[in-house]
Chain A
Amino acid sequence: MILSVKAVSLKDVIVDAIEYLWEIFGLLYNSFKNLPYLRISPVLTVFLRQIYFAGIETFGKMVIIGLLAGIVIIAQITNLTGVGSAVLTGKILIWVMVRELGPLLAAVIIITRSVTAISAELGAMNVEGEIESIEMMGIDPYRYLIMPRVFAVSLSSVVLTFYFEFAAIFGGITVTSIFWSVPFEEYTKGIFSSLSFKEVTASFIKSLLFGMTIAAVSCSQGLKVSKSITQIPQATTRATIQSLFLVIIFDGIITFMFFVC
């Protein structure tokens, strides 16, 4: 038996990565270009449905996970700094939650819920010839299927990240105030002293960029499914891994730009 091994050079990997990022950028550019068509009733319906699925249906889970994450983190910080350091605990909580973990964990939850759904749905539509049928009706699939999904997931990401961080910070503080008998005001002092415009902006930019990346990658992979149903699980897996990978890379870049430079 002859085994052939295809050598993949670093150059090929980099070229592929740049091509892929260009494709994602193109898809986002196209979505922005098509944004005025959100006023068309069927397009608006797709947008609202996606908001319902990616945003409203995820809301409860997001708040619960945020609350639990907040409790765990604040408990660990309190163990580390001691009960008397409520101001410091509040500061660390803001640094960890608003700067880093809030947008990142919210993005991970959105990835687990929306990436598979969007890529599988678009993949199945492609296999069944539904996207061609849409084109035959003179409807631009980028305008009708992609743009509303991109903006709905992006908007959901921003709103969900806010609620996630809110639940994590105030929920965590409330619970630990009860268990460790630390006055609530002590924690809030630390929080408000370290919560600046910079933190909020970084968190907002991260959540928006993560949402756009997640939506664009999911749509791109879903559209790549051609005529075989076996390609759907492959597309969903690829979309999940690539979304996660890009989110972590962008997280690093934004953190570097805001807090290191």
Chain B
Amino acid sequence: MLKLECASLKGLLECASFSIVKGEICEVLTETDFDRNLLLKVFTGLAALDSGKIYIFDKDILSITSAELNETRKRIGVVLNNGGLISNLKVWENLMLPLAYHMSFHKQDIEEKIRVILSKIGYDDDLNVLPGPLPDYKKRLIGFARAMLMDPDMIIYDSVFEGLSSDSRSRVLETVNAFHLEKKGRVSLFLDPGESPIRGIKADNTYRLKEGKFYEGN
């Protein structure tokens, strides 16, 4: 589902290989936030490799057209550490954006879908506000809901547990694990900085990115 073959990128990867298969939960630990951000860009086709190959859903994303790349990205949900929300769109519009852009649902259907997802993740704040003043935790929740709405085949969590209280962390973990099981073959990939894996993630594999290579194991 996601595969790197002897991938090199100056400052991050040196002929690194790595793969995740269908249905897997995987955690990648990076040494710095910079590495994590860059790795996320590699996994979403935003940063091109200097050499090597990267396959997402069996497609070499460096050799496909931008339209095909966007089609591939539609199947990937990304929950960013800062939520990745658009500051000039209200929370409601942020949630609707990918769904309204990519799919031709009626507004009522989208609203219904949003209500269901929000109740699942326990978000009950005002949706008619701009996201700027919201705390990071809430922004992440909205980002998570936005990714969930697209029912992705692969979901990438970009350091989503950082700075959360133990209560909030357990709640998010519960939702994340339940969401993984909702679709057969879905891949959940956690990108986290630091040395030790996040407690509570039921990862099938944990990798460490060190000196340009992936090392498997805790």
Q: Check if A130 sits within 8 Å of B98, measured CB to CB.
A: no
CB-defined contacts of B150 to chain A, threshold 8 Å: 137
Extra 19 A-B pairs, beta carbons < 8 Å, given A139-B98, A140-B66: A40-B100, A40-B101, A42-B96, A42-B100, A42-B101, A45-B93, A130-B86, A133-B84, A133-B85, A135-B44, A136-B80, A137-B78, A137-B98, A137-B101, A137-B146, A138-B70, A138-B74, A138-B98, A140-B70
Chain B interface, DSSP helix/strand/loop, else mixed: helix
B169 close to chain A: CB less than 8 A: no
A186: CB under 8 A from chain B?
no
Q: Which of the residues A42, A45, A125, A135 comes within 8 Å of B87, measured between beta carbons?
A: A125
Which residues of chain A from 113 to 162 have any CB-CB distance to chain B below 8 Å in the complex? 121, 124-125, 128-130, 132-140, 144
A120 vs B77: C-alpha distance when bound (angstroms): 28
- A129 pairs with B84, CB closer than 8 A: yes
A129:B82 contact, CB within 8 angstroms: yes
Q: Which residues of B contact A43 (CB under 8 A)?
A: 101
Closest CB in chain A relative to B41 CB, distance in Å: 7
24 pairs across A/B with beta carbons < 8 Å? A40-B100, A42-B97, A43-B101, A45-B93, A124-B87, A128-B87, A129-B82, A130-B85, A130-B87, A132-B41, A133-B85, A136-B44, A137-B78, A137-B97, A137-B146, A138-B70, A138-B73, A138-B76, A138-B98, A138-B102, A139-B97, A139-B98, A140-B66, A144-B101
**B19 contacts the other chain (Cβ, under 8 Å)?**
no
B21 at the interface (CB under 8 A from A): no
> Once the chains bind, are B97 and A130 in contact (CB under 8 Å)?
no
For the complex, count residues of A whose C-beta is within 8 A of B.
21
* CB 8 Å contact bits of B74-112 with A (1 = contact, 0 = none): 101010101011111000010011101110000000000
Mark out the residues of chain A between 39 and 53 whose CB falls within 8 Å of any chain B CB in the assembled complex: 40-43, 45
| Interface residue? B71 (CB, 8 A) | yes
Q: Is B46 an interface residue (CB 8 A)?
A: yes
Q: Which residues 41-84 of A have a CB within 8 angstroms of B?
A: 41-43, 45
Q: A136 near B70 (CB under 8 angstroms)?
A: no
A45 to B97, CA, bound (A): 11
Binding site for B on A (CB under 8 A): 40-43, 45, 121, 124-125, 128-130, 132-140, 144
How many A-B contacts are there with CB distance less than 8 Å? 65
Residues on the A chain within 8 Å of B88, using CB:
121
Chain A nearest CB, measured from B89 CB (Å): 9
Residue of B nearest to A145 (CB): B86
Residues of B close to A42: CB separation below 8 A: 93, 96-97, 100-101
Question: Which chain A residues border B146 with CB–CB below 8 Å?
Answer: 137
Contact B46 A135 (CB under 8 A): yes
Inter-subunit contact B97/A136 (CB<8 Å): no
Give the chain A neighbours of B82 by CB distance below 8 A.
129
Chain B residues, CB < 8 A from A134? 86
A-side contacts of B86, CB under 8 Å: 125, 130, 133-134
Return the 8 tightest CB-CB contacts between A and B, nearest first. Answer: A138-B73, A133-B84, A138-B74, A138-B70, A137-B98, A136-B78, A41-B100, A136-B44
CA distance A130 to B78 in the complex (A): 13
